Structure 1
């Protein structure tokens, strides 16, 4: 299930860098949205990678990593883009 990760990355590397031994990729069968500043609506994302770190998630959409929270129903609500660098996004957890 590492196929969606950037070149050179494994889930073990993600776990080591994040300090979360339970970090895991999630399936795409869930709603993933990002909050839009100044609007009541959410913008749907079409991620190609979803990584869970307990209740937090990193979601890659069009090459950008978004930080979000895993909801009780399995959906992910993101609040901001943390750029295209996975290592920097992980350090923001």
Structure 2
């Protein structure tokens, strides 16, 4: 993950935080229950039901995602 992203500080995130995705066209969020979360500075990837969601850490440590980037981790990392 570090080599592919070019980010030597890339790390796994703990699950003790809120993780949600913005519902398109609405001002609401749908909770996610990821089984893996990766941090690349303030950007994050969270895997939920086999799909990688990209998001950002907020001030409180929550991960707010905006979209799914598919099931291929390498492709999701390249999209960072």
TM-score, scaled to structure 1: 0.85
Instruction: Tell me which protein shows more helix as a share of its residues.
Output: 1
Q: What aligned pairs does 1:1-93 form with structure 2 within 5 A after superposition?
A: 14-93=1-80
Shift of 1:73: 0.5
Cα RMSD (Å) of the superposition? 0.4
Alignment correspondent of 1:11? none
The runs of 4+ residues in structure 1 deviating greater than 2 Å are: none
TM-score, scaled to structure 2: 0.98
Shift of 1:72: 1.2
How far apart in 2 are the matches of 1:19 and 1:38? Answer: 33
The higher relative CO (CA closer than 8 Å, separation ≥ 6) is in 2
Per-residue CA deviation, residues 12-50 of structure 1 (Å, 9 max, x unaligned), is xx0000000000000000000000111111000000001
How far apart in 2 are the matches of 1:68 and 1:31? Answer: 12
Gaps of 5+ in 2: none
Instruction: Tell me which protein shows more strand as a share of its residues.
Output: 2
**How many residue pairs end up in the alignment?**
80
Q: Which one has a bigger Cα radius of gyration?
A: 1
How far apart in 2 are the matches of 1:72 and 1:40? Answer: 19
